[in-house]
């Protein structure tokens, strides 16, 4: 039996109606990352963010955190969370920078229709696993259980 949209709603509690999830082009990744995470990347591929970098910079919220810092740490947590639970790729320990745009406005993050995207990502990952004979699984293991 394959997971359905109803399963995504029931198991993960994600909405099935709302705004579509689309990525816009990001013209300046340095500025985008600095504005959303408060860190200025100096090296490497800016289209991805390593989990180790997120952990090193945002492991624990300071006790005297400002409201802006709370929002930044929340963004990082959500970014990390979706990369290890929903858009899982066992071959890499990174998250695409473009996912950060869905958490620019934390209060509006729930308006997106995430359930359809998660299911499409899972089906695409399963197709790749069977077509290319991969040794690892990508996608939400929670839905596959």
Give the 3-state secondary structure of the chain: CCCCHHHHHHHHCCCCCCECCCCCCCCCHHHHHHHHHCCCCCCCCCCEEEHHHHHHHHCCCCCCCCHHHHHHHHHHHHHHHHHHHCCCECCCCEEEHHHHHHHCCHHHHHHECHHHHHHHHHHHHHHHHHHCCCCCCECCHHHHC
Q: Which pLDDT tens digit goes with each residue over 106-121?
A: 777 667 667 777 777 7
Q: Which pLDDT tens digit goes with each residue over 56-86?
A: 889 899 999 999 999 999 999 988 888 877 7
- What pTM was computed for the model? 0.74
């Amino acid at each position: 039996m394959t997971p359905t949209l109803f399963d995504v709603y029931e198991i993960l509690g994600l909405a099935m109606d709302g705004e579509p999830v689309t990525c816009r082009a990001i013209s300046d990744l340095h500025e985008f990352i600095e504005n959303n995470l408060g860190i200025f990347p100096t090296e490497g591929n800016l289209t991805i963010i390593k989990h180790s970098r997120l952990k090193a910079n945002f492991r624990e919220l300071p006790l005297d955190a400002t409201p802006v810092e709370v929002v930044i740490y929340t963004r990082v947590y959500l970014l990390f969370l979706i990369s290890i639970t929903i858009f899982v790729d066992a071959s890499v320990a990174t998250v695409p920078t473009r996912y950060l745009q869905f958490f620019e406005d934390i209060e509006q993050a729930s308006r997106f229709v995430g359930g359809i995207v998660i299911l499409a990502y899972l089906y695409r990952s399963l197709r790749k696993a069977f077509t290319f004979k991969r040794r690892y699984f990508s996608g939400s293991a929670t839905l596959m259980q």
